[in-house]
Every structure is written in C-alpha cells, then in structure tokens.
Amino acid sequence: MSQLLPTDGPAAAEIDLPLSPEVTEPPGAPQLYDAGTLAALLRVADLTLTDEWQQKLLATVNDLEPALHRLRALDLGETPPATAFDARWF
Amino acid sequence: MDAYALSITQASELIAAGELSPVELTESVLARIEYAEPHLNAFVEVTADLAMIAAKAAEVEIAEGGYRGPLHGIPLGVKDLYETAGIRTTSSSKVRADYVPDTDSTVVQKLLGAGMIMVGKTHTHEFALGGVTPTTRNPWHTGHIPGGSSGGSGAAVASGECMVGLGSDTGGSIRMPAALCGTVGLKPTYGLVSRRGVASLSWSLDHVGPLTRTVRDTALVMDAIAGYERSDPASLDLVPQSYTADLDHHAGDDLTGLTVGVPSNFFFDDVDEEVDAAVRAAIGQLEFLGARVVEVTIPMAQYISAAAQLIVRAEAAAYHRRMMRASGDLYTEQVRRGILAGEVVLATDYIDALRMRTLVQREWSAMVIGAGVDVIAAPTCPIPAPPADLGTRTWASGLVEDLGRAVGRYSAPANIMGLPGLSVPVGLSSGGLPIGMQLMGRPFEESTVLRVGQAYEQTKATALPVLAL
C-alpha cells in the first residue's frame, strides 16, 4: 500500500500560519531583518546556511515582521506570560 | 449499506448484538482503503495484516463475553505524528522515515485498550506545519486539497477508510480538514486530552482530538481519551465525565436556554459568499431549535494571529533545532523555511506573545461572560477546499490572499484561548465541496459544544454520505 512521503511541489508551498488581514505593516515601520542582520542572527544561532538558503529565509522572516510590529506596539504592562510549570515531582 | 459506511454508533450496536463481526467490518474497511487509496493517498502506511489479527482477536473476545464497549472492533486511522509501538511514525517527513517507536502514544494506547482496530497511519502535512497536506487529496474532488495538517485523517474518515481519524490541532489542523472533507472534528480544551507521544509543533498551542462522521461518534471517542496524565505538562486533573451520557441526557431537548454568539468581526471578514450563506443558515437552524442568538465582537482580533505566529515559530524551531542541523536537507523546502524562521525570533518577542495570549484570554472571557454566550458559531474556513495547485483570491476588501493560507485564517482563536472547537458539516458549495461551521465553547464545556453540534446535525434529513469516488 501507499508509503509516499512528501516532496516539494506547488501544493507544498504554504504554511498553515496565516496572519489575519488586519495584521499589516504599520506605516513607517522599520525593516527588522535584512541580509546582514539575518546573517548575524544565524551566526548567533550556530546555523550554517548557503547564500541561496539565506535569501529564501530572508523572504520568510520578512513575512513575520507585521506580527512583530503589532506585538511590540502593545503595552503589556504587568501581564504575565501564559505558561505553566508544575513544581511537584513525578 | 456496506459496513465501512456505518457510523460508529451504528456499527457498535450491530457488533454488540452479534450481527456484525469485527472481522467483517475490518475486511470491509480494508477493501475500501484498497479502492480509495489510489485516488486519495490518505495513508502513509496501511497496517492490514495487524488489523486483521486484531479484528480476529476482538471477534473471539466478544464471542466469549468480553465486549469492551462501543469502540470494540471499530477501525481507527492514526495521524502519523502519534507514536505507535513497532510501527513507523514518520510525521510524513523523510527526516523520520525510519523512526519506529517502542511505545504507543497515550491516546493510541487508550483507544487500542478500548478495543479499536488500527488500520494504518494517516498523512499529515509534514510535522503538522501546514494546512494543505500535499500528499493527499480531497475525497469530494480529488483535484482539491483535504486541508491540514490532519488531512489524511480527514480524507480517510470522509471516504470510509476508517471510522475515527486521529488529528492534532495547533492552528486549526483538526477543524480545517474536518470542514474541507465534510467530517466532524473536535479540538478539545487545552489540557483535556494527553499529548504524550505525539510529535510537537508548539507545546503551548498543540491539542489532540478526533475526526469522525457524526457528533455522537466524536463523543464516544472523547469518553475514551479524555483524562489527566502527568507526563503532559498541560494536562489537568479534572473529574471525568461522559460526553455520550450528556448527549443522552439531553436527547429530545431543543436548544432553549442556550445562547449562540455570532461574531460581527473577524470570522465573517473576507469570507466566500457560499460559506457565509451556509453558516448563517445553520445558525438560523440553531435559533429555530430554541437557541438565543446574539451578536458579539471578537476582542483583540488583530493580535490573535500575530501571537500565534510568533509562539509557533519559536517553539517549532526549538523542537526541530537538533534535527534541522543534522538533516535539514530532508525537510521539504517550505516547512524548512517555516521552522528556520523561528530561529531568529527574539526570546523577548516570544515571551511577549505569551503575555499577549493572557491579555486576549481575559478579553475573550469577558466578552463571553458579558454576553452570556455558551457557544460562538462561525465558519471553520473562509473558503471550501481550494484546488491542489492553490493560487490566490482577491477579496472585496482588496486583500489578495494565498488560498493555502486562507483556509486557516479563522482557526487561531480557539488555539490561543485553548477553547473547545467543533467543526460540523453544514452543506456543500455549488462546486460540490463541503462547508464547515465552527462551534467554540467555554473551556472544558465540550458537552455543550457537542450538544449544539448534534442538535444541528439532527436537523438534516441524512448525514453527509460516505462518498463514491
């Protein structure tokens, strides 16, 4: 029976993390990631990528910028993060 | 009717009465798989031999008076993110093509313990990072996608290749394929069902749950899989309840006393006209059944998807950190890009996204409590299943949207809030593709969501058919 694993193709080209239409770049928002910034961050992450892959990744991280701008524009005050840690031992 | 086309409720009654054997049912489902798989490719691997061994054992056990309950002898498809002892668990990725776990994930363990017969592992969008499932096609129209990431389970359940398909849902991955394939799909409340042994996409947002053909079938599965488990840090120790008993308790009741909230923003923004009409007609049915319908405004809608994006990217990058460095070339390109992007999200931005989640939860709960709402009803997806080559759509608002992204645009709120979200079929588009309505309840109020879903389901003359290909 079928044991096909995925290959790249037209239908593989999308990621299931859509931003709502309202999440657009605020006017005048600075560009957060350029080629130089990305290269520096990848060095910090100890991640070696070819030039071609750095270009591909740059396009993807630029898609994240509207989310980052929107997040940073919000005053979160004393709001704690939504995380949980259970100190009991197993 | 062929045995594969029965609901669990129907099949289990026949099995309990000795009128259908697990062997007959499994043979029927395996024959259906053999027929449908060349068109759908819903399965990574079909475990036919193991299924027949289990079915024969179930037949003997039941004949000897050892009937375990309504899931005994019922065929199960397991999303390939779920670990299965001795059976490859690939996450539909070449990265894990040869991974064979030693133990079953908790949900699989519980369902096999209830007597279910696993017929195979269903395809996921690679590592659950996508809403397309490019390996698999939609049984209503094989030129279209099944949705994702639990697309294999959606296609398999809708086409009669199994009666339950397990799914996982980080950004809609149970509800989307349920809507696009015309099945029921429940994302339970965060913490209700253990995720132990299921490959993670984002620990903060991952949920696991079933896709089935009827609401009652979903309740039957939830009765078996809900429960506390310490090794899942999100798991909560709550008093167990029976979802089927609750449905039985309300059998014959209408929806008087329940309030349905209909969003005036976000969920009906940039929505396909046929989806809009079908969901609003279904909401009209809920009102006809006695529910009070009120308009609600979704709070902080513009922040929800932004927070989800950052949380998923950062957590996925952490999960894949070692594998990405060892086997980066084995990932499909877009999944690799999506994961790598999380490597360069700052920790402060990630933590602020988790703080935003807290704020959104407060605002959402205030909205729900303030309006006295029991469930919010909205489209599951803005569009029916798009073609396999995707493409874009230009909305009246001017938004030009990639269709692969559009399918998940309404999913994030239930994940960010951890709320129960049930997708139920509400009709077909003019192109013959299913449309789903999403019912989002209060936390741990699965019973209410299922009750509303079943009440709607019972207004239809027949359930959606198991499909001819």
Rounded distance between C-alpha atoms, residue B168 and residue B154, angstroms: 11
Q: Which residues of B are catalytic?
A: 79, 149, 173
Q: Six-digit token pair at B151?
A: 């697309």
| CB of B333 less than 8 A from some CB of A | yes
Amino acid in position B218: T
Q: What is the pLDDT along chain B (469 residues), one digit of tens a residue?
A: 899 999 999 999 999 999 999 999 999 999 999 999 999 999 999 999 999 999 999 999 999 999 999 999 999 999 999 999 999 999 999 999 999 999 999 999 999 999 999 999 999 999 999 999 999 999 999 999 999 999 999 999 999 999 999 999 999 999 999 999 999 999 999 999 999 999 999 999 999 999 999 999 999 999 999 999 999 999 999 999 999 999 999 998 999 999 999 999 999 999 999 999 999 999 999 999 999 999 999 999 999 999 999 999 999 999 999 999 999 999 999 999 999 999 999 999 999 999 999 999 999 999 999 999 999 999 999 999 999 999 999 999 999 999 999 999 999 999 999 999 999 999 999 999 999 999 999 999 999 999 999 999 999 866 555 665 5
Residues of chain B with CATH 3.90.1300.10: 3-301+350-457
- ipTM of this model? 0.86
Name the residue in chain B with its Cα closest to that of A47: B325
- Identify the residue among B30, B331, B340 best suited for mutation to test binding to A, counting A beta carbons within 10 A and taking the highest: B340
Does this model's pTM top 0.90? yes
Which among B460, B469, B278, B455 is positioned nearest to B383, based on CA atoms? B278
Nearest CA distance, B94 vs chain A (angstrom): 7
Homologous superfamily (CATH) for B3-301+350-457? Amidase signature (AS) domain (3.90.1300.10)
Q: Calculate Rg over the CA atoms of chain B.
A: 21
Name the residue in chain B with its Cα closest to that of A16: B130
If you count residue pairs, one on A and one on B, with CB atoms under 8 Å apart, how many are there? 216
| CB of B126 less than 8 A from some CB of A | yes
Which among B222, B124, B267 is positioned nearest to B420, based on CA atoms? B222
Beta bridge partners of B211: B165, B185
Nearest CA distance, A68 vs chain B (angstrom): 7
Nearest CA distance, A83 vs chain B (angstrom): 7
Angstrom distances, CA of residue A19 to CA of A8, A23, A70, B301? 23, 6, 11, 11
Rounded distance between C-alpha atoms, residue B116 and residue B52, angstroms: 12
Q: Six-digit token pair at B278?
A: 């079908």
Q: What are phi and psi of B281, to 5 degrees?
A: -65, -40
Rounded distance between C-alpha atoms, residue B296 and residue B262, angstroms: 6
Listed by start position, the domains of chain A span 32-73
Q: Six-digit token pair at B61?
A: 């056990």
